[in-house]
């Protein structure tokens, strides 16, 4: 094999397309006879629709059709596994009843010749309601008695956990605190909004261009809803303008666009407005997290209770798993983690820039700082004293953990020793108060089943395909590198293709598992390809010209190999897999209350990076002033 | 967006003539506020008269050493003009603190004067209550999320704020708005241009619908060269003011001879801080003087559930802005 | 290597070079000069310049991020000045010279700002990128790139939700050395 490309400073293989405006996102595929769809949405948050009057809208210029509950087909339900067990996304298909569960709920779609006409006609649709007072606050008394105590996060991790005797430990703790942190609703707002262009290529064949980081999942969802064989639904998405947790799971817009396309017998494009990004397809739920934690006089954690209250919508039971990391991030004999869910008339929550680990670790780390302060210990020292050498929840060793080294390197690099202990004691020349803070970063290191094909082409180049996604994290580049490295040919001779449901299965892009899942499949397919060539009685030349000759000699048009990779179950059960880091920040607050983050340093363990240029982009945080 | 007819006009007379007696029609300047509001369904004109080609882009010195700014001068051009930068830095700074470079290239002086409030309840017709949008429907902000709302001069009909930065500087500078209507030209002093909400919050200004703004005249103010604009907002740039202060000081050694102060983000109109001006007159230009004056100005302020922080913030901002100006060479 | 077949814009018949009948009756004729090519369009006056570019002319390099002037993804140059094409109507630009991201490169040769964005990885998802680049081209011309803080302030009209700001800053600084 030639010198490895992994870790080299390559530029992105799709960089040229992106800087020239040639990368095509979901809304940018011109289709013949395209019509435009615009959503009709509920303006109340709870109640029933009594009437949708489309008489004026129907006759507005350019209107082709209006789809509402009146003329909607009977959709089949979403796939079972996506609607059970607190999975994210909505449980119910749209337009099947008159119930309103939250403001902005989709009540129909207006299709017109032009976007402007569709927007105008939508404003002419008159909806009458029978409203009910909505419940939108976590502490609203009306929903407390029906609160849910969900057992598991999407059928996986336990959300109600007890270890040891928390009450006894709290009662005897030398230092303790009892604090509540709340985090607001957070919206993903990738800069590209959702967009779907649906068209029926035949009465039973559907082509969809959509901004999705779950191509295969969406294919399954749509096939189910319209009762089609999965292979009859073709999803294409070569580029995604950011997702951050959105653009996955089941939401009603894809169904509405496809149903509208069927109704008008033309391709229909439906693109969310920016306001619709706040009410139409997921957001992070509000959370309220109460901590009761206690330590002994040496600053050793004795008790940690992390009780989360959060909300779901009336049409989903997804739970923000805020307490998951509290189970094991620190060593503590007595732990209680609980999650309580109330149903609110708010847009259905889903993960946003990671599921509940994000607000959960924010709160845990803040609480830890408060307790460190209470015990009179430096926050870094406090964390070191409570370092977990094994996963005390699973009672397993870590697959690897170099967190101690992260703390130490970070503290040194940041000049942490310059921090003064007393709150408000550090002042800048302009009268600003200066704060130094630090926190632990942690996230599960996951892996999923994935497949890829590798094809040796006539000209000696290799095409590699997988139904994975490019949301900006550099999939095209990274996978091209893995393929080039495995095959020993220049990266320019690799063509990596993704974003097509006809390619081999790949997981949703999320959970930080894309590379760990798809790379093994890509490398596997490339190894299989090499094997096939060797089986022809030829050795594998690290040279495209020779590969072209070899293919010509074999008399084949192309040679194709496939590989499916799966996580090593045994390994996964032996160890606990997490990635770690330590973050240090300097924040200034001036006399006008203006907050400026002056420095952020994120220390990650030394590892090999796919492409250090992209890696720098994904992790570096600038100082602003 | 509702359908509308569109026409382009070449001179001010034609513009006024085209819209005369048509309250449903609107002049189209840079479009950055009007088109936005039309997309939201808040503004629904049936006719747009595009005034972008009118020869009203001049920025020129007047015989009395004041400066005349044409209504079609773009915000970026005004901000970067030598006359403005040297004689009225507060105006240049106010403009540069507003919106973004792209928007400032589009926005006109006339349009900026008439930009409408960013109150959430006004901006989204899905909210049923807004007296400004629909007289008599109520005020959603009173008991709603009112973080960006007014603390001075509001009424129980409306607690919206005027969002412009430029206008805060113009209020401090005693600008005069020259307008032309079907009956000819007239001048409106800046203090009389925008209105407090009272019982007619639907009316932002005293301009008639068929009147065209032709220019804004700045009087000669020698000490305006010693001026500053301070804007406090939720992020470092590209955000509207929570509170802002335009300030100019005439100092005799360390004594205040004259002052011009106006506040933004606190009221339905750019708020001329007359009390601050009188309070500090003749006193030594120091923090104590400024703080006492700020207290006097804000004595009548009233906060709501989410915006009471603005009262203390406005006081500190006044002190900070005046101190900055006092420290200028 | 990423080739054109799947990834670049699908070209389509009916791209409007000449005036064509559109969907409504009250169409207004407008002549636009985009990237050096003259277009005569009959458009509904409600069509924004951005939608004219994307939906009528299939010049999809200019992006729609918010449609309300709040993100900068739609930034184009009009007679050399940067503006948000989502808050201006196509009919307002009779005779104007419009430059979009598609018009910056000289054939195969990238504009120095484009090259610097690749070199410094000034993007992740790439959706804000055309707007960032158009804005940066204008910024350099305006001479507003004389310090890091000045660049940050004068690029603040372009939001990058992926947060590639440090690399965007680095790219602009390098482009400045190449263009001046
Ligand atoms: C995202 C965003 C952020 C912004 N941030 C700020 C900010 O921080 N600070 C700030 O001050 N502003 C800000 N603005 C507002 C901006 O300054 C205004 O939109 C702009 O000044 C309006 O000018 P225009 O020429 O585009 O007006 P238009 O939108 O064309 O017109 C506005 C109104 O004025 C009328 N009109 C225009 N010209 C005349 C005339 N000559 N005579 C009579 N009537 C006329 C129109 O009929 C219309 O009713 C922001 C805007 C946006 C979109
Ligand atoms: S799309 Fe124009 S500024 Fe966002
Ligand atoms: S690169 Fe994704 S928003 Fe900027």
Q: How far is the CA of C131 from the centre of ligand 2 (A)?
A: 9
Residue A230 included in any domain = yes
Domain shared by A568 and A515, yes or no? yes
Confidence check: pLDDT of B198 > 50: yes
Residue pair A504/A465 in contact by the 8 Å Cβ criterion: yes
Q: Sign of torsion, CA C86 C91 C92 C96?
A: positive
pLDDT band at A3 (very low <50, low <70, confident <90, very high): low
What is the rounded distance in angstroms from the CA atom of residue B98 to the CA atom of residue A373?
Answer: 42
With a 6 A CB cut-off, is C160 part of the ligand 3 pocket? yes
Residue range C152-172: mean pLDDT, rounded: 98
Instruction: Report the percentage of chain C scoring pLDDT > 70.
Output: 86
Confidence check: pLDDT of C22 > 60: no
Q: Which residues contact B153 (CB under 8 A, 6 or more apart)?
A: B196, B197, B267, B268, B269, B271
> Tokens standing for A457?
């082409």
Shortest Cα distance, chain C CAs vs residue B6, angstroms: 7
Number of domains in chain A: 4
> Tokens standing for A181?
């942190």
The mean pLDDT value of chain A amounts to 94
Domains of chain B with CATH codes: 5-52 (3.30.43.10), 230-326 (3.30.390.50)
Question: Smallest Cα–Cα separation from B67: which of B52, B94, B85?
Answer: B85
Nearest residue, CB atoms, A120 vs list B3, B124, B313: B3
In the sheet that holds A205-210, the strands lie side by side as: A63-68, A106-112, A35-41, A268-271, A195-202, A205-210, A233-236
Q: What is the torsion angle, in degrees rounded to the nearest 10, for the CA atoms of residue B45, residue B47, residue B50 and residue B54? A: -110
Domain shared by A303 and A356, yes or no? yes
Neighbours of C, requiring at least 3 CB pairs below 8 Å, are A, B
A240: which chain C residues are within 8 Å (Cβ-Cβ)?
A: 125
Neighbours of B, requiring at least 3 CB pairs below 8 Å, are A, C
Shortest Cα distance, chain B CAs vs residue A417, angstroms: 29
What is the rounded distance in angstroms from the CA atom of residue C54 to the CA atom of residue C127?
Answer: 14
In ligand 2, the atom with minimum distance to the C-alpha of C159 is 4
Domain shared by A255 and A318, yes or no? no
pLDDT band at A571 (very low <50, low <70, confident <90, very high): confident
Nearest residue, CB atoms, A274 vs list C59, C68, C100: C68
pLDDT band at A422 (very low <50, low <70, confident <90, very high): confident
Residue pair B28/C92 in contact by the 8 Å Cβ criterion: yes
Q: Which residue among C63, C101, C162, C166 has the greatest number of ligand 3 atoms within 8 angstroms of its CB, and so is best to mutate?
A: C162
CATH number of the domain to which A213 belongs: 3.90.1170.50
Domain shared by A259 and A291, yes or no? no
Pairing assessment for the beta strands A175-183 and B47-50 based on DSSP bridges: unpaired
Question: Does B50 lie at the interface with C, CB-CB under 8 angstroms?
Answer: yes
Shortest Cα distance, chain A CAs vs residue B123, angstroms: 12
Domain shared by A115 and A145, yes or no? no
Question: Does A274 lie at the interface with B, CB-CB under 8 angstroms?
Answer: no
pLDDT band at A110 (very low <50, low <70, confident <90, very high): very high
Are C101 and A21 an interchain contact pair (Cβ–Cβ within 8 Å)?
yes
What φ, ψ does residue A183 adopt, rounded to 5°?
-120, 145
Are B232 and A594 an interchain contact pair (Cβ–Cβ within 8 Å)?
yes
Q: Could you give the residue range(s) of every CATH 1.10.150.120 domain in chain C?
A: 112-179
Shortest Cα distance, chain B CAs vs residue A598, angstroms: 13
The mean pLDDT value of chain B amounts to 97
Q: Which residues contact B147 (CB under 8 A, 6 or more apart)?
A: B306, B307
Q: Which of A210, A245, A278 is the last residue of a domain?
A: A278
CATH class, range C26-103: alpha beta
Element (H or E) spanning A286, and its range?
none
Nearest residue, CB atoms, A624 vs list B3, B236, B313: B236
Residue pair B47/B19 in contact by the 8 Å Cβ criterion: yes
Residue pair C144/C154 in contact by the 8 Å Cβ criterion: yes
Nearest residue, CB atoms, A120 vs list B1, B313, B316: B1
pLDDT in tens, A13-59: 999 999 999 999 999 999 999 999 999 999 999 999 999 999 999 99
Residue A405 included in any domain = no
pLDDT band at A613 (very low <50, low <70, confident <90, very high): low
> Tokens standing for A452?
């890829």
Q: Which residue among C127, C157, C167 has the greatest number of ligand 3 atoms within 8 angstroms of its CB, and so is best to mutate?
A: C127
Residue pair A603/A409 in contact by the 8 Å Cβ criterion: yes
Question: Does A592 lie at the interface with B, CB-CB under 8 angstroms?
Answer: yes
In ligand 1, the atom with minimum distance to the C-alpha of B104 is 17
What is the rounded distance in angstroms from the CA atom of residue B203 to the CA atom of residue B268?
Answer: 11
A117: which chain C residues are within 8 Å (Cβ-Cβ)?
A: 23-24, 44
Q: Could you give the residue range(s) of every CATH 3.10.20.30 domain in chain C?
A: 26-103
Residue pair A598/A587 in contact by the 8 Å Cβ criterion: yes
Pairing assessment for the beta strands A233-236 and A126-131 based on DSSP bridges: unpaired
With a 6 A CB cut-off, is C84 part of the ligand 2 pocket? yes
pLDDT band at A79 (very low <50, low <70, confident <90, very high): very high
Q: How far is the CA of C128 from the centre of ligand 2 (A)?
A: 10
Element (H or E) spanning A50, and its range?
strand A47-53
pLDDT in tens, B238-257: 999 999 999 999 999 999 99
> Tokens standing for B29?
């300047």
Q: Which of A278, A313, A332 is the last residue of a domain?
A: A278
What is the rounded distance in angstroms from the CA atom of residue A268 to the CA atom of residue B54?
Answer: 41
What is the rounded distance in angstroms from the CA atom of residue A293 to the CA atom of residue A313?
Answer: 31
Residue A402 included in any domain = no
Position C8 scores a pLDDT of: 36
Position A513 scores a pLDDT of: 86
Shortest Cα distance, chain C CAs vs residue A9, angstroms: 10
Question: Smallest Cα–Cα separation from A268: which of A63, A540, A60?
Answer: A63
With a 6 A CB cut-off, is C66 part of the ligand 3 pocket? no
Question: Smallest Cα–Cα separation from A86: which of A152, A144, A157?
Answer: A152
Q: How far is the CA of B114 from the centre of ligand 1 (A)?
A: 6
Are C46 and B1 an interchain contact pair (Cβ–Cβ within 8 Å)?
yes
Shortest Cα distance, chain C CAs vs residue B265, angstroms: 19
Residue A329 included in any domain = yes
With a 6 A CB cut-off, is C22 part of the ligand 2 pocket? no
CA angle B175, B179, B181 (to 5 degrees): 165
Domain shared by A212 and A254, yes or no? yes
Q: Which residues contact A168 (CB under 8 A, 6 or more apart)?
A: A334
Are B2 and A591 an interchain contact pair (Cβ–Cβ within 8 Å)?
no
Domain shared by A104 and A126, yes or no? yes
B320: which chain A residues are within 8 Å (Cβ-Cβ)?
A: 591-592
**What ipTM goes with this model?**
0.96
Residue A386 included in any domain = yes
In the sheet that holds A47-53, the strands lie side by side as: A99-100, A47-53, A126-131
Confidence check: pLDDT of C25 > 60: no
Residue pair A480/A611 in contact by the 8 Å Cβ criterion: no
Domain shared by A154 and A300, yes or no? yes
Residue A333 included in any domain = yes
Ligand 2, atom 3: closest residue by C-alpha: C69
Ligand closest to Cα of A273 equals 2
Residue A5 included in any domain = no
pTM as predicted? 0.96
Question: Can you identify the CATH homologous superfamily of domain C112-179?
Answer: [2Fe-2S]-binding domain (1.10.150.120)
CATH number of the domain to which A533 belongs: 3.30.365.10
Residue A161 included in any domain = yes
Q: State the DSSP string of chain C.
A: ---HHHHSPPP-TT--SS----SSSS-EEEEEEETTEEEEEEE-TT-BHHHIIIIIS--TTS--S-SSSSS-TTEEEETTEEEEGGGSBGGGGTT-EEE-GGGTSBTTBPPHHHHHHHHTT--SS-SSHHHHHHHHHHHHHHT--SSHHHHHHHTTTS--TT--HHHHHHHHHHHHHHH-
pLDDT in tens, B304-322: 999 999 999 999 999 999 9
Domain shared by A259 and A300, yes or no? no
**HEC profile of A410-465:** HHHHHCHHHCCCCCCCCECCCCCEEEEEEEEEEEECCCCCEEEEEEECCCCCEEEE
Domain shared by A111 and A153, yes or no? no
Domain shared by A465 and A585, yes or no? no
A592: which chain B residues are within 8 Å (Cβ-Cβ)?
A: 232, 313, 316-317, 320
What is the rounded distance in angstroms from the CA atom of residue B255 to the CA atom of residue B241?
Answer: 30
Q: Which of A226, A244, A278 is the last residue of a domain?
A: A278
Confidence check: pLDDT of C16 > 70: no
With a 6 A CB cut-off, is C126 part of the ligand 3 pocket? yes
pLDDT band at A67 (very low <50, low <70, confident <90, very high): very high
Q: How far is the CA of C25 from the centre of ligand 2 (A)?
A: 28
With a 6 A CB cut-off, is B50 part of the ligand 1 pocket? no
Domain shared by A366 and A512, yes or no? no
Full residue range of the structural domain in which residue A85 is found: 26-133+191-278
pLDDT band at A560 (very low <50, low <70, confident <90, very high): very high
Q: Quick one: DSSP state of residue A321? A: -
Question: Smallest Cα–Cα separation from C148: which of C174, C123, C111, C126?
Answer: C174
Q: Which residues contact B226 (CB under 8 A, 6 or more apart)?
A: B248, B249, B250, B251, B325, B328
């Amino acid at each position: 094999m030639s010198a490895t490309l992994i870790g080299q400073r390559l530029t992105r293989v799709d960089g040229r397309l992106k800087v020239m405006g040639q990368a095509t996102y979901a809304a940018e595929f011109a289709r013949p006879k395209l019509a435009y769809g615009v959503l009709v949405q509920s303006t109340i948050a709870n109640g029933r629709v009594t009437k949708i009057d489309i008489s004026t809208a129907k006759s507005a210029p350019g209107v082709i059709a209006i789809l509402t509950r009146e003329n909607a087909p009977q959709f089949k339900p979403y796939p079972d596994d996506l609607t059970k067990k607190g999975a994210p996304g909505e449980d119910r298909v749209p337009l099947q009843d008159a119930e309103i569960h939250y403001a902005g709920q989709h009540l129909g779609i207006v299709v017109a010749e032009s976007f402007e006409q569709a927007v105008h006609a939508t404003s002419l649709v008159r909806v009458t309601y029978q409203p009910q007072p909505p419940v939108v606050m976590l502490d609203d008394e009306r929903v407390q008695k029906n609160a849910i105590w969900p057992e598991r996060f999407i059928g996986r991790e336990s959300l109600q956990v007890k270890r040891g005797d928390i009450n006894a430990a709290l009662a005897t703790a030398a230092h303790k605190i009892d604090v509540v942190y709340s985090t607001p609703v957070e919206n993903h707002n990738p800069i590209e909004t959702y967009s779907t262009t649906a068209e029926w290529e035949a009465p039973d064949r559907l082509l969809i261009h959509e901004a999705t980081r779950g191509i295969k999942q969406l294919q399954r969802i749509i096939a189910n809803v319209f009762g089609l064989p999965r292979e009859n639904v073709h999803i294409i998405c070569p580029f995604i303008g950011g997702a951050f947790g959105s653009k996955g799971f089941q939401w009603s817009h894809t169904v509405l666009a496809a149903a509208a396309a069927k109704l008008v017998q033309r391709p229909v494009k439906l693109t969310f407005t920016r306001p619709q990004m706040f009410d139409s397809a997921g957001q992070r739920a509000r959370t309220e997290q109460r901590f009761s934690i206690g330590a002994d006089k040496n600053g050793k954690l004795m008790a940690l209770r992390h009780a989360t209250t959060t909300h779901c919508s009336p049409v989903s039971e997804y739970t923000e798993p805020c307490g998951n990391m509290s189970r094991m991030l620190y060593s503590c004999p007595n732990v209680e983690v609980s999650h309580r869910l109330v149903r609110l008339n708010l847009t259905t929550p889903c993960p946003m820039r990671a599921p509940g680990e994000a607000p959960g670790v924010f709160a845990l780390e803040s609480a830890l700082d408060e307790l460190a302060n209470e015990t009179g210990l430096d926050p870094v020292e406090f964390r070191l004293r409570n370092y977990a050498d094994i996963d005390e929840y699973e009672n397993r060793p870590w697959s690897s953990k170099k967190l101690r080294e992260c703390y130490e390197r970070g503290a040194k690099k940041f000049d942490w020793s310059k921090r003064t202990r007393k709150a408000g004691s550090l002042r800048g020349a302009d009268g600003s108060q200066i704060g130094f803070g630090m926190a632990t970063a942690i996230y599960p290191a996951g892996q999923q089943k994935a497949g890829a094909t590798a094809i040796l082409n006539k000209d000696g180049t290799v095409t590699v395909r997988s139904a994975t996604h490019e949301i900006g994290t550099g999939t095209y580049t990274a996978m091209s590198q893995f393929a080039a490295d495995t095959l020993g040919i220049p990266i320019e001779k690799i063509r990596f293709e993704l974003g097509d449901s006809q390619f081999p299965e790949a997981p949703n892009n999320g959970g930080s598992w894309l590379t760990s899942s798809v790379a093994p499949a890509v490398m596997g397919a490339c190894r299989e390809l090499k094997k096939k060539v060797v089986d022809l009685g030829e050795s594998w030349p690290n040279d495209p010209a020779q590969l072209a000759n070899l293919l010509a000699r074999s008399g084949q048009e192309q040679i194709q190999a496939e590989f499916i990779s799966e996580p090593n179950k045994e390994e996964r059960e032996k160890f606990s897999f997490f990635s770690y880091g330590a973050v240090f920040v300097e924040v200034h607050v001036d006399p006008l209350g203006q907050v400026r983050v002056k420095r952020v340093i994120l220390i990650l363990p030394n590892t090999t990076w796919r492409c250090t240029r992209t890696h720098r982009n994904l992790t570096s945080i600038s100082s602003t002033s | 967006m509702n359908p509308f007819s569109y026409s382009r006009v070449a001179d001010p007379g034609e513009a006024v003539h085209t819209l005369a007696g048509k309250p449903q029609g609107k002049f189209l300047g840079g479009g950055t506020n009007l088109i936005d509001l039309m997309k939201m369904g808040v503004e629904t004109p049936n006719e747009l008269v595009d005034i972008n080609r009118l020869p009203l882009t001049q920025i020129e010195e007047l015989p009395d050493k004041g400066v005349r700014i044409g209504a079609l001068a773009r915000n970026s051009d005004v901000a970067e003009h030598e006359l403005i930068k040297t004689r009225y830095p507060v105006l240049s700074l106010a403009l540069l603190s507003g919106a973004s470079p792209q928007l400032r290239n589009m926005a006109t002086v006339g349009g900026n004067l008439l930009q409408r409030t960013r109150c959430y309840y006004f901006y989204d017709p899905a909210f049923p209550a807004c007296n400004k949008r629909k007289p008599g429907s109520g005020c959603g902000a009173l008991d709603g999320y009112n973080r960006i709302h007014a603390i001075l001069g509001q009424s129980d009909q409306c607690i919206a704020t005027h969002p412009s930065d430029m206008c805060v500087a113009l209020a401090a500078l005693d600008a005069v708005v020259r307008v032309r209507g079907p009956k000819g030209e007239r001048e409106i002093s800046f203090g009389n241009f925008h209105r407090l909400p009272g019982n007619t919050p639907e009316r932002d200004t005293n301009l008639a619908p068929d009147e065209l703004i032709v220019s804004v005249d700045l009087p000669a103010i020698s000490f305006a060269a010693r001026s500053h604009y301070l804007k406090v907002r939720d992020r470092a740039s590209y955000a509207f003011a929570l509170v802002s202060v335009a300030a100019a000081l005439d100092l005799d050694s360390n004594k205040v001879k004259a002052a011009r102060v106006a506040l933004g983000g606190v009221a339905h109109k750019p708020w001329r801080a007359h009390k601050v001006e009188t309070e500090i007159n003749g006193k030594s230009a120091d923090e104590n003087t400024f703080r006492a004056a700020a207290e006097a100005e804000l004595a009548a302020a009233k906060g709501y559930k989410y915006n009471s922080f603005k009262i203390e913030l406005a006081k500190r901002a006044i002190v900070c802005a005046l101190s900055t100006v006092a420290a200028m060479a | 290597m990423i080739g054109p077949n799947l990834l670049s814009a699908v070209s389509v018949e009916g791209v409007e070079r000449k005036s064509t009948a559109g969907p409504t009756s009250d169409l207004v004729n407008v002549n636009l000069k985009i990237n050096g090519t003259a277009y005569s369009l009959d458009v509904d006056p409600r069509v924004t310049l951005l939608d004219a570019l994307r939906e009528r002319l299939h010049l999809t390099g200019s992006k729609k991020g918010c449609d309300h002037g709040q993100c900068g993804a739609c930034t184009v140059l009009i007679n050399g000045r940067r503006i948000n094409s989502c808050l201006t109507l196509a009919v307002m630009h009779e005779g104007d010279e419009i430059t979009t991201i598609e018009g910056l490169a000289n054939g195969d040769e990238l504009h120095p700002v484009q090259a610097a964005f690749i070199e410094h990885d000034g993007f992740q998802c790439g959706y804000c990128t055309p707007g960032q680049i158009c804005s940066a081209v204008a910024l350099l011309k305006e001479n507003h790139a004389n310090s890091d803080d000045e660049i940050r302030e004068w690029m603040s009209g372009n939001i990058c939700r992926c947060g590639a700001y440090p690399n965007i800053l680095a790219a602009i600084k390098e482009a400045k050395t190449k263009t001046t």
